């Protein structure tokens, strides 16, 4: 993800963040404090070398390619350098004796997809089923948690990858 903070941004109506898609590229506009807004783009990994060579130009090029953003760009003023960010992804074994992990603490994904809260709530629903099996005596702890682990990966692996 490449991003910068801008002033004088005209937002779409409503207090929500904006998400704009073009193929496998996504652009975000998010209001921040002190009258600034973050403009960000996430692009496929094969575009990273071009972005590293010209982050300012490539960020603006991606924003200008978004038809709903482009008309608003002439009036904005960049207030920060163009920054790059990446979140390392990981998957952990989500249980041990007497403890269980759900959501980001057990499996962190780059937030570009916006699926983190959905994944976390899905993990909790899955966990309650297997925890119920353990608490009712239907399964022992290890068997219940192995089933939860398998179910978590089945549900989340596509978004993770």
Confidence of residue 112 (pLDDT cuts 50, 70, 90): low
Q: What is the pLDDT of residue 159?
A: 76
For the chain, percent of residues with pLDDT exceeding 70: 94
Please say if the pLDDT value at position 14 is more than 90.
no
Both tokens of residue 15?
Answer: 């207090």
> How far from 158 is each of 12, 82, 100, 101, CA to CA, in Å?
32, 30, 22, 19
What pTM was estimated for this model as a whole? 0.61
- Domains of the chain are 2-84 (3.30.9.100), 90-160 (no CATH)
Q: pLDDT for 59-80, tens place per residue?
A: 999 999 999 999 999 999 999 9
């Amino acid at each position: 993800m490449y991003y910068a903070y801008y002033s004088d941004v005209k937002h779409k109506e409503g207090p929500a963040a904006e998400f704009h898609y073009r193929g496998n590229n996504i652009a975000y506009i998010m209001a921040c404090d002190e009258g600034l807004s973050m403009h960000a783009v996430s692009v496929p990994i094969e575009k990273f070398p071009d972005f590293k060579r010209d982050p300012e130009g490539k960020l603006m090029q991606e924003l200008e390619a978004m038809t709903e953003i482009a008309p608003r760009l002439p009036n904005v003023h960049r207030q920060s350098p163009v920054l790059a960010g990446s979140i390392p992804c990981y998957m952990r074994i989500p249980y041990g004796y007497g403890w269980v992990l759900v959501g980001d603490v057990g499996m962190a994904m780059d937030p570009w997809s916006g699926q983190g809260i959905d994944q976390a709530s899905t993990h909790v629903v899955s966990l309650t089923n297997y925890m119920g099996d353990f608490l009712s005596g239907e399964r022992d702890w290890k068997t219940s948690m192995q089933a939860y682990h398998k179910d978590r990966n089945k549900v989340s692996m596509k978004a993770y990858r």
